[in-house]
């Protein structure tokens, strides 16, 4: 065996070793999946829960304030409606009295 054949034989053996190593590594990776990620510490969950509770409290406060405003507006509108109905009732009574007086005055003039 001369030098060229020896070099080719060694190169082929090294190439086969690289292929065998790559194949074994691939099989090892299939048989051993990566470990699961570490669990989130409780302190992070507690901070997240507290921030969610704060958001909920803000939303409840906004809802209560809006409900209070709408109740006030409804009360004011109801008071305005009552005042308007009372004024309309007084105007109708006055018109009825004036019509009665006018009819009495017309009957007296005849």
* pLDDT attached to residue 69: 97
Coil, strand or helix: which one is 39? coil
Q: How far apart are CA 30 and CA 25, in angstroms?
A: 9
pLDDT digits (tens, 9 = 90+) for 39-71: 777 788 888 999 999 999 999 999 999 999 999
Q: Tell me which of 83 and 1 has the higher pLDDT.
A: 83
Q: How far apart are CA 28 and CA 22, in angstroms?
A: 10
Kindly state the DSSP code that residue 45 receives in the 8-state scheme: H
Q: Which two tokens stand for residue 93?
A: 């009574």
Specify the DSSP element, H or E, that contains 54.
Answer: helix 42-109
- Residues above pLDDT 70, as percent of the chain: 99
pLDDT digits (tens, 9 = 90+) for 9-26: 999 999 999 999 999 999
Q: Which two tokens stand for residue 37?
A: 């990620």
């Amino acid at each position: 065996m001369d030098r060229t054949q020896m070099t080719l034989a060694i190169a082929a053996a090294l190439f086969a070793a690289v292929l065998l190593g790559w194949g074994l590594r691939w099989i090892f990776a299939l048989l051993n999946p990566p470990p699961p990620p570490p669990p989130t510490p409780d302190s992070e969950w507690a901070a997240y829960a507290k921030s969610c509770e704060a958001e909920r409290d803000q939303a409840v406060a906004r809802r209560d304030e809006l409900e209070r405003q709408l109740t006030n507006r409804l009360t004011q509108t109801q008071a305005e409606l009552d005042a308007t109905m009372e004024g309309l009732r007084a105007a109708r009574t006055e018109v009825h009295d004036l019509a009665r007086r006018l009819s009495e005055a017309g009957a007296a003039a005849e």
